[in-house]
A and B are shown apart, each in its own frame.
Chain A
Amino acid sequence: MGWAFYNVPCSDTNTSLHPFSLAKGLVTSGRNTCTPYHSSTVKIPFVAILRTNLHQEMNYFPDEVIEHIFDSIASHRDRNSISLVSKSWHKIERCCRRRVFIGNCYAISPERLIGRFPCLKSLTLKGKPHFADFNLVPHEWGGFVHPWIDALARARVGLEELRLKRMVVSDESLELLSRSFANFKSLVLVSCEGFTTDGLASIAANCRHLRELDLQENEIDDHRGQWLNCFPDSCTTLTSLNFACLKGETNLSALERLVARSPSLKSLKVNRAVPLDALTRLMSCAPQLVDLGVGSYENEPDTESFAKLLAAIKKCTSLRSLSGFSEVAPLCLTAFYPICQNLTYLNLSYAAEIHGNHLVKFIQFCKRLQRLWILDSIGDKGLEVVASACKELQELRVFPSDLHDEEDNNAAVTEVGLVAISAGCRKLHSILYFCKQMTNAALITVAKNCPNFIRFRLCILEPNKPDHVTSQSLDEGFGAVVQACKGLRRLSVSGLLTDKVFLYIGMYAEQLEMLSIAFAGDTDKGMLYVLNGCKKLRKLEIRDSPFGNAALLADVDKYETMRSLWMSSCDVTLGGCKRLARDAPWLNVEIINENEDNGMERNEEDEREKVDRLYLYRTVVGTRNDAPSCVTIL
């Protein structure tokens, strides 16, 4: 029997591993080894056949071989597709699945997860809905990680990695985590809350093989204890340490000793309390760093400190990524000039005090930059410089520096900056842009210049603001974006928008997975265009828009194909939500009330009452039992 290879397109962007695409691949002759290609293709050793029934042929191989083949498929979606091919593939796949991603922690229970994937090593969990970031979800809403850690511990799962986003984590959970998994290696917490540095101390003390502790934008109660001291002297395996979000003092000598005994450390992000001289010493003993987050340096350094810093920075020839700078005197920034041209990622979006001129002077030397996060103090002129200097730019985020619009803000950015970027940076595929104003003409130009957008998030600071030149709505502009950018997966719209923009989105945004809407639309038709048109939609979040029951109830089955729907300050009523909950028992329909005390009373209220906040999501485990009183689950 001969061997042949099927080129299996396994990208985790568009095509999923449909069984028929397995069969229809090109047949190429050649080697009989199965090597995982890079992330996008897998060559499968295979007996020469014509077309379908690939899985039946593959079943002639022992399970271990099939497992080996599956191991090289990394994308979650492709793994999910494989498991649907046949019973035997389902069984093999689940037993060898190492990494699981759960986008909504209430969609499934820990017990069922462990039952299906007993060999789990890495778990990613997301809790609160996205709008929790903007204070639209009460603190006590939910998203507790403890039941998960508890269940994994009791089932003796060999957990090695835990990644959490918007979840509530307690010190008890961290302590349990640190004691239950002997091989635990990596903890990544993003936008979580509920724990203190005591919890971090448990992790440091008990996780013998810890490689990664990455804390991003969490609310952590800093007890100013000695958690860094809790890393034992035998801990030498750290590759990544990020505690930038801690607000308190840091034990500098403990930190320096830790860094000195971590030769594999590639990523270090310190907090504001690490002064310049300590940073210099840290960089001197870790010149292998690839990713550095610096602290806060308000004062200009004296000449000697500056010279030492410069010398240390020059040795960090592997540095590719720079962030932090919560307050930084401009001279400090210049110390980093020697490594500018190596940087691929630069995040100066917390440096509120730096004037735009200094930012521009720095960035113009960063010729290899791929990702840039910056404040709008850079201004349109600054963005023009970025456009001419950073030709490799793929992702740009421009955040607002002044939320209260108090200053006569000359420095804020407008459509001019966006157009300049689109003209100069043709590789751009992701943008988050907060601006004062926009025009249809600009958006149309941007769409033409950069048809490769996969993420396009535009936030015009003032709700309902029209095209500032023509005073029309921005329907045409966003319409041009969705029409040109055929791979668009995430979109946030703003400004004055009618139902028409949603017609365009429904018609053209075929790959759209996440849509964020605020202060937009005229009638239910708007929401219906989206629900009917965007076949791949997974997350829809809407606030302050006139969509009501007719749109909500038109196609109840649609929500089974989506992860979640959020609607706040819209026109849906209690009656409509109750009806939805009745028609779709596989959904959790949560009403979040403004007034916590009225939680239970609301049920007797008028069903024509508008619902303040609605959050619904598909689930296989029914109503959750940890909801607070301000949440009513219908």
Chain B
Amino acid sequence: MEKDGLELEITELRLGLPGRDVADKMMKKRAFTEMIMTSSASNSDQCESGVVSSGGDVEKVNESPAAKSQVVGWPPVCSYRRKNSCKETSTTKVGLGYVKVSMDGVPYLRKMDLGSSQGYDDLAFALDTLFGLRGIGVALKDGDNCEYVTIYEDKDGDWMLAGDVPWGMFIESCKRLRIMKRSDATGFGLQPRGVDE
């Protein structure tokens, strides 16, 4: 691709990022080296390549996730978008288990921590408390007899009836909960029809 005779030395494969003041640059580079190291648990090929390690002088890695957010303004997503579209860490962190719960007829969403419930019974009680009604919890246990059904959206985006799978599996895959009137539930969950409907 190059024209002949031009700057052939830059075609040398270089390891690391040369041409910098070691002292000062090490400070700055450390932040992203740490970033790279802490994220390379699943990207082991980067560690091996040596290209991204700081000149062969790999410092002790700081394991804290705070290292990742040290780089201001990166990735370059504008602040409006950051505030309005990107997932907040608090709701998506594994283990915290906060999910949104909506109920038909109630205008505002609630959030609850699935992790604080031990099983479906607990969940039933928690839901009752959340909405200040009784009978929701019954839906989970009694199935056909009650006015409401409790459904949840799983990792694949499908809506499932709550209570069918083991609790452990449930809290791992549940992304949000909805309490729906049984009368509305029939027909729900059918694949949306195409344009001609």
Question: Are B194 and A496 in contact (CB-based, < 8 A)?
Answer: no
Q: Which residues of the other chain, A, contact B21 by a CB distance below 8 angstroms?
A: 571
Q: Determine if A610 and B24 form an interchain contact, defined as CB atoms under 8 angstroms apart.
A: yes
Q: Is A466 in contact with B87, judged by CB distance below 8 angstroms?
A: no
Interface string of A556-588 (1 = CB under 8 A from B): 000000000000010100000000000000000
**CB neighbours of B74 from chain A (8 A):** 134, 463, 518
Q: How far is the CA of A245 from the CA of B109 in the complex (A)?
A: 21
Check B62 for interface membership: any CB of A closer than 8 A: no
Stretch at the interface among B44-52, B116-124, B135-143: B44-52
Given contacts A300-B178, A334-B192, whether A503 and B100 have CB atoms under 8 Å apart is no
For the complex, what is the distance from the CA of A375 to the CA of B77, rounded to whole Å? 12
Interface residues of B (CB under 8 A from A): 1-3, 6-7, 10-11, 13-14, 17-21, 24-25, 28, 32, 35-36, 39, 42-43, 45-46, 48-49, 51-52, 68-69, 71-82, 84-87, 89, 92-94, 100, 102, 104, 109, 153, 156-157, 178, 180-181, 184, 187-188, 192-195, 197
Chain B: minimal CB distance from A419 (Å): 20
- Given A466-B51, A483-B1, A357-B157 contact (CB < 8 Å): yes
Interface string of A320-335 (1 = CB under 8 A from B): 0000001000110010
> Known: A298-B102, A503-B10, A523-B19. Contact between A399 and B77, CB under 8 A?
yes
A134 surroundings in chain B (CB, below 8 A): 72-74, 76-79
> Lowest 8 CB-CB distances: which A-B pairs, in order?
A355-B157, A134-B73, A471-B49, A133-B78, A334-B192, A217-B80, A523-B19, A350-B85
C-alpha spacing A599/B7, complex, angstroms: 41
Asked whether any CB of chain B lies closer than 8 Å to the CB of A207, the reply is no
Interface centre among A191, A401, A522 (most CB of B within 10 A): A522
C-alpha spacing A408/B102, complex, angstroms: 26
The distance from the CB of B75 to the nearest CB of chain A, in whole angstroms, is 5
Q: What are 7 pairs between A and B in contact, CB < 8 Å?
A: A299-B104, A299-B178, A302-B184, A337-B194, A352-B87, A400-B75, A403-B77
Across the interface, B195 reaches (CB within 8 A) one of A338, A350, A522, namely: A338
With A462-B39, A466-B46, A522-B14 as given contacts, are A569 and B51 in contact (CB-CB < 8 Å)? no
B92 and A406 contacting across the interface, CB-CB below 8 Å? yes
Nearest Cβ on chain B to A521's Cβ, whole angstroms: 8
What residue in chain B is nearest A404 (Cβ atoms)?
B89
- The distance in angstroms between the C-alpha atoms of A331 and B187, with both chains bound, is 12
Say whether A403 contacts B82, CB under 8 Å.
yes
| Interface pair A350/B156, CB less than 8 Å apart | no
Q: Report whether B80 and A404 are in contact in the complex, using a CB–CB cutoff of 8 Å.
A: no
Which residues on A sit within 8 Å (CB–CB) of B39? 405, 462
Q: Add 19 more A-B contacts to A300-B178, A337-B192, A544-B71 (CB < 8 A).
A: A134-B74, A134-B78, A136-B73, A300-B102, A349-B81, A349-B85, A355-B153, A375-B85, A400-B75, A405-B68, A406-B92, A492-B76, A496-B52, A498-B14, A499-B10, A518-B74, A518-B76, A522-B18, A546-B20
For B181, give the chain A residue with the smallest CB separation.
A302
Per the bound structure, the CA–CA distance linking A84 and B172 in Å amounts to 68
Report if A461 contacts B (CB, 8 A). Answer: yes
Measured in the bound complex, the distance between the Cα atoms of B82 and A375 in whole Å is 12
Please encode chain A, from 359 to 388, with 1 for each CB lying within 8 Å of some chain B CB and 0 for all others. 001000100000000010000000000000
Contact A462 B36 (CB under 8 A): yes
Q: Judging by beta carbons under 8 Å apart, are B46 and A471 in contact?
A: yes
| Given A133-B76, A399-B85, A518-B74: A466 and B52 interface contact (C-beta under 8 Å) | yes
* Partner of A546 from B17, B43, B100, B197 at Cβ < 8 Å: B17
Which of B14, B85, B153, B192 has its CB near the most chain A CB atoms (within 10 A)?
A: B85
| Bound CA span A568–B51, Å | 24
Given the contacts A356-B157, A471-B45, A571-B21, A503 and B85 also touching, CB distance less than 8 Å: no
- A219 in contact (CB, < 8 A): yes
Distance of A548 from chain B, by nearest CB (Å): 10
Against B, the Cβ 8 Å flags (1 = close, 0 = not) of A97-137 are 00000000000000000000000000000000001011110
Verify B87–A191 contact, CB threshold 8 A: no
> For the complex, what is the distance from the CA of A441 to the CA of B98, rounded to whole Å?
41
A299's partner among B72, B73, B76, B102 (CB-CB below 8 A) is B102
Chain B residues closer than 8 Å to A356, beta-carbon distance: 157
Q: Smallest Cβ distance from B29 to chain A, in angstroms?
A: 9
Given contacts A134-B73, A546-B25, A569-B28, contact A464 B36 (CB under 8 A): yes
Number of A-B pairs, beta carbon distance below 8 Å: 177
B1 to chain A, nearest CB (A): 6
A312 close to B (CB within 8 Å): no
Known contacts A459-B76, A462-B36, A468-B45; decide if A525 and B192 are in contact (CB<8 Å).
no
A434 and B87 contact, CB distance less than 8 A: no
Which of B75, B78, B187 has the most CB atoms of chain A within a 10 A radius of its CB? B75
* In the complex, A268 has a CB within 8 A of chain B: no
Are the C-beta atoms of B84 and A465 separated by less than 8 Å?
no
**Residue of A with least CB distance to B186:** A303
**Are A219 and B75 within 8 A (Cβ)?**
no
A544-B28 in contact given A136-B72, A300-B178, A471-B45 (Cβ < 8 Å): yes
- Cα of A349 to Cα of B25 in the assembled complex, Å: 36
Q: Enumerate chain B residues within 8 angstroms of A209, measured Cβ to Cβ.
A: none
| A500/B10 in contact, CB under 8 A | yes
Residue among B68, B78, B94 having the largest count of chain A Cβ atoms under 10 Å: B78
Task: Please give, as numbers and ranges, the residues of chain B lying within 8 Å of A399 by CB-CB distance.
Answer: 77, 81, 85
Contact A407–B92 (Cβ < 8 Å): yes
Closest B residue to A272 by CB, please name it: B84
Distance, CA A135 to CA B79, complexed state (A):
7
Q: Which residue of B lies closest to A407 (CB)?
A: B92
Which chain A residues border B82 with CB–CB below 8 Å? 403
B68 surroundings in chain A (CB, below 8 A):
404-405
B51 touches A546 (CB 8 A): no
| B85–A401 touching, CB < 8 Å | yes
> With the chains together, A268 CA to B81 CA distance in Å?
20
Q: Considering only CB atoms, which chain A residue lies closest to B76 in the complex?
A: A134
Min Cβ gap A190→B in Å is 10
Residues of B with C-beta under 8 A to A473: 51
* Complexed CA–CA distance, A495 and B144 (Å): 56
- In the assembled complex, A390 has its CB within 8 A of some CB on chain B: no
CB distance from A193 to the nearest CB of B (A): 10
Quick one: given A402-B86, A522-B14, are A331 and B75 in contact (CB under 8 Å)? Answer: no
- Asked if B93 and A406 make an inter-chain contact with CB atoms under 8 angstroms apart, the answer reads yes
Give A298 to B14 CA distance when docked, in angstroms.
52
Q: Find out whether the CB atom of B72 lies under 8 angstroms from the CB atom of A352.
A: no
Per-residue contact bits, chain A 491-521, to B (CB 8 Å; 1 contact, 0 not): 0100010111001100100000000101100
- Do B73 and A479 have beta carbons less than 8 Å apart? no
As a 0/1 sequence over residues 155 to 184 of chain A, the CB contacts with chain B under 8 angstroms (1 = contact) are 000000000000000000000000000000
Given A136-B72, A401-B87, also A479-B157 (CB < 8 A): no
- Inter-chain CA distance A573–B102, complex, in Å, is 56
Question: Which residues from chain A contact B188 at a C-beta distance below 8 Å?
Answer: 300
- Neighbouring B residues of A300 by C-beta, 8 Å: 102, 178, 180, 188
**How far is it, in angstroms, between the C-alpha of A434 and the C-alpha of B77 when the chains are bound?**
9
CA distance A245 to B153 in the complex (A): 28
Q: Does A340 contact B (CB under 8 A)?
A: yes
A308 at the interface (CB under 8 A from B): no
Cα distance, A629 to B146, chains bound together (Å): 67
CB distance from B77 to the nearest CB of A (A): 6
Interface flags, A605-620, vs B, CB<8A=1, else 0 = 0000010000000000
Nearest CB in chain A: distance from B150 CB, A: 14
Chain A min CB distance to B140 (Å): 19
